[in-house]
Copies of this chain bind each other. A is one copy, B any other.
Amino acid sequence: MNIISFPSRAEWPQLLARPVQSTQQIEAVVAPILAQVREQGDAALIELAQKFDKTDLSQSGLEVSRAELDAAEEQLSDELKAAIRQAYQNIRLFHERQKQPVEKIETMPGVVCWRRSVGIEKVGLYIPGGTAPLFSTVLMLGVPAQLAGCREVVLCTPSNHPAIYFAARLVGVTKVFRVGGAQAIAAMAYGTESIPQVYKIFGPGNQYVTAAKMLVAKEGVAIDMPAGPSEVAVYADDSAVPAFVAADLLSQAEHGADSQVLLVSTSKKLVELVNLALPTQLSKLPREALATKALENSKAILVESQADAIELLNAYAAEHLILSVDNAEAVAEQITNAGSIFLGNYTPESAGDYASGTNHTLPTNGFARAYSGVSLDSFVKKITVQQISPEGLQALGPVVEAMAEAESLDAHKRAVRLRLARLAEANPA
């Protein structure tokens, strides 16, 4: 890691900047794919799978059959199935507690307002192919969709890994399609003969998938959040175990060469010990090459004080923030920008990535300044409802009339006036 000692505040923005991603070129590739799927539906999906993935979907069909999904269970070890079931339970428990009961609020006598949470009727989940079969993400997106009561949960994935199918069954995904890439996003955004159109699309993907999501979002299809490379910031002091810190940094670095890894400390000694631990651990990793590349771009920043560390971490707004410091919980209270926070020596990021119960779909790239990670809220709409009694309108009406008049919206005023006049007729003073 590159060690940067006591940088001035003026240097912070450059140190904390994420690599800028030029999206124009990728969008130029993706836009015609979206248009083709919109116009040609299933035929486009079959053609594009042949072109990009050398896969012949005309034989297998787009949809994964119930029999294929059922068969997945037999292909997994009992240990893995038990692990997935335990993770499912923990994630379910944590997200279930995010349900908010309906509460009727009388803002003035006779004026009653409330909110109803209603699951988004149709949602789409995307799970990429590639080397790592992200069945954990099926749980992270599928569990809140299930709890929200989404009626149609569509999963598009080019992977046919049995753990993905098993997880899809567990969370009650209604339809699985063997479609990947930008064309899968298009299919769910616009609908095709086989794939239902959905109202919100979730899930990770490469830069083409990400660009496709941003483009359909501009057209009004909701998406989970904008995406960038995964990242971790670790704030550690002398109470941290250097080998654990090194392991956490590496578990981020192995995601890809563009992973962002940041270590912040007030202790020169800790930074040096972590740096010593890294090469040994690195050499044991199957993904050593990827992780080495990510580490080359990573930084260890020495700061003067805990106050500086907190300020720097808030400026960075990490997706994952590990606080391996003595007073971790107190520090967490002062963090204003982060996706998810992990406290102390025995809370590795991996726990939250898989099974502790929190969601692992989190804002990267500084988006934690404005965005939350995925939660039950991401799968529901909150519809406000109000009911006003005649007496309530008699009290509230004049307020509405005065404001509508001042905004020059006369019909708004009259909608109240007419009702108050009717009430006055019915009950003359």
Contact = CB atoms under 8 A, between A and B. Distances in A.
A368 interface: yes
B97 A407 contact: no
Contacts of A338: 383
A382 to B, nearest CB: 4
A412 B90 contact: no
A345 interface: yes
A135 B407 contact: yes
Interface stretch (A38-46, A57-65, A177-185, A348-356): A348-356
Interface stretch (A66-74, A265-273, A296-304, A369-377): A369-377
B369 A199 contact: yes
B381 A416 contact: no
Nearest to A421: B243
Contact of A414 (B250, B371, B404): B250
A385 B332 contact: yes
Contacts of A248: 415
A329 B383 contact: no
A377 B371 CA distance: 10
A97 B214 CA distance: 33
A332 B355 CA distance: 38
A168 interface: no
A349 B413 CA distance: 10
Given A94-B113, A341-B386, A358-B384, A399 B118 contact: no
16 contacts: A79-B402, A82-B399, A83-B400, A113-B358, A132-B408, A133-B408, A135-B406, A220-B365, A243-B422, A285-B414, A339-B383, A340-B384, A341-B386, A348-B415, A349-B415, A372-B383
Given A247-B419, A345-B419, A351-B388, 5 more contacts: A97-B105, A250-B415, A346-B392, A351-B397, A377-B382
